[in-house]
Structure 1
């Protein structure tokens, strides 16, 4: 993961506004309930919106993220005292072998380079108890979502606590599965705060093989939050696997 992909203390407050809990959070909370998870690790937890909701009575939740800006925000929110917060990447996951559920949500898994992905999955496997569950989602490359990340398609203006904000996305480079794009944020004073992100789009077969090679079996991949089959137009690939 990049060192601090959301490193602006002013703009970080808008993250939860732009990414509210929805079907994704419902899915992960239901999964935690279904597997009876009492110990949960949320890798790439960001502002901790989902993490805090998982930290219910009798359950421990750990949120790990490389962004000190996001973690600073997360730790100031209601319920933050119920979560263990760690600034770091997947190598911060302790290989305890007693975790019930490891999550990586918000497409955060896509920020990982191939070697980083293998490490993250191996560390997750070492942390989970036998039969423990790993789950994450990733954008489906066959849907070619990045084709819509143009200034014309994403340009928007809105009122925020920072004043009127103008925003758009623009793809800078596509090289195989690797897509680099810029997020523009123009403030009322005209300053354009540009944040560059790199995402890796992996197909279902690649994800299945990589997860299996890291020590997981029963690898299931669906094309949505309700167990849909994967098709060429599926926007998401939702992965669930058990530690072998």
Structure 2
């Protein structure tokens, strides 16, 4: 089940307003250029920010996400109607012969069990052409991002059509490799308070690499995230022909 921030129709419009300018997206576009990728699968596409950028660069894009409310926001952004939006997860995607699959943000960390992670990787493997690549980021466990979350002082944004919304974030449980946290949203227009709880799994570099190899990939590179040096691993893995 998707977290409320992605699935609750009152919260979903707040997500984009809080995210603002996505400094991580140009790096994915640059990698798509580097790899010469023309057909791209965006796994966990959410409200479509990355998919839109990729499509605007002339690529054929498929976005898949389990949260229908997020997909509704994404479809509204896709004014040209050129992107294929799919409700589901990577296991529901057909063989696309994609050149590239991406998982931006925290997507790779929402798969909490080994089985869920493996099924996702195998679904992506099937959607890629032989030699196609998977690119995704995952937070470095040693960076201990949850300690920054504990110091969060909150944010306030004005959301078009909604009004002013206050957001506060707190880590509610750290039991590695799992970290759970809660976002609380207060809508000043009517005083409503909604929450969205999330849990991420923090895998180390070797664990991620081994899981990729086990699911038919070859790790080509592990990079820094240009906008967050020292905080993320960015994996570039190639589908090995079956």
Cα pair 1:47 1:73 within 8 Å, conserved: yes
Gaps of 5+ in 2: none
When residues 49 and 158 of structure 1 are mapped into structure 2, their CA distance, relative to the original with a 3 A threshold, is closer
Cα pair 1:52 1:82 within 8 Å, conserved: no
Partners of 1:46 and 1:80 in 2: how far apart? 18
When residues 93 and 16 of structure 1 are mapped into structure 2, their CA distance, relative to the original with a 3 A threshold, is same
**CA displacement at 1:235 relative to structure 2:** 1.0
SS of aligned partner of 1:123: helix
Partners of 1:109 and 1:14 in 2: how far apart? 22
Aligned equivalent of 1:239, options 217, 221, 235? 235
**CA displacement at 1:154 relative to structure 2:** 3.1
When residues 63 and 80 of structure 1 are mapped into structure 2, their CA distance, relative to the original with a 3 A threshold, is farther
When residues 63 and 78 of structure 1 are mapped into structure 2, their CA distance, relative to the original with a 3 A threshold, is closer
SS of aligned partner of 2:99: strand
Q: How many residues align?
A: 237
Instruction: Tell which deviates more after alignment, 62-71 or 170-179.
Output: 170-179
SS of aligned partner of 1:18: helix
- With the length of structure 1 as denominator, give the TM-score of the two structures: 0.88
Give the structure 1 partner of residue 65 of structure 2: 65
**CA displacement at 1:78 relative to structure 2:** 4.0
Cα RMSD (Å) of the superposition? Answer: 2.2
Give the structure 2 partner of residue 11 of structure 1: 11
CA deviation map 1:30-55 (0-9, x unaligned)? 11122221211000001111102212
Cα pair 2:43 2:103 within 8 Å, conserved: yes
Give the structure 2 partner of residue 130 of structure 1: 130
**CA displacement at 1:14 relative to structure 2:** 2.7
After TM superposition, the structure 1 = structure 2 runs for residues 93-132 of structure 1, keeping only pairs within 5 Å, are 93-96=93-96, 98-113=97-112, 114-132=114-132
Partners of 1:62 and 1:72 in 2: how far apart? 15
**CA displacement at 1:160 relative to structure 2:** 3.3
After TM superposition, the structure 1 = structure 2 runs for residues 135-154 of structure 1, keeping only pairs within 5 Å, are 135-150=135-150, 153-154=152-153
**CA displacement at 1:4 relative to structure 2:** 5.6
When residues 9 and 127 of structure 1 are mapped into structure 2, their CA distance, relative to the original with a 3 A threshold, is same
SS of aligned partner of 1:130: strand
Cα pair 1:219 1:242 within 8 Å, conserved: yes
After TM superposition, the structure 1 = structure 2 runs for residues 79-228 of structure 1, keeping only pairs within 5 Å, are 79=79, 81-96=81-96, 98-113=97-112, 114-150=114-150, 153-161=152-160, 162-188=162-188, 189-225=190-226
Partners of 2:125 and 2:131 in 1: how far apart? 10
Cα pair 1:208 1:219 within 8 Å, conserved: no
SS of aligned partner of 1:6: helix
SS of aligned partner of 2:7: coil
Cα pair 1:68 1:87 within 8 Å, conserved: yes
When residues 220 and 227 of structure 1 are mapped into structure 2, their CA distance, relative to the original with a 3 A threshold, is farther
**CA displacement at 1:193 relative to structure 2:** 0.2
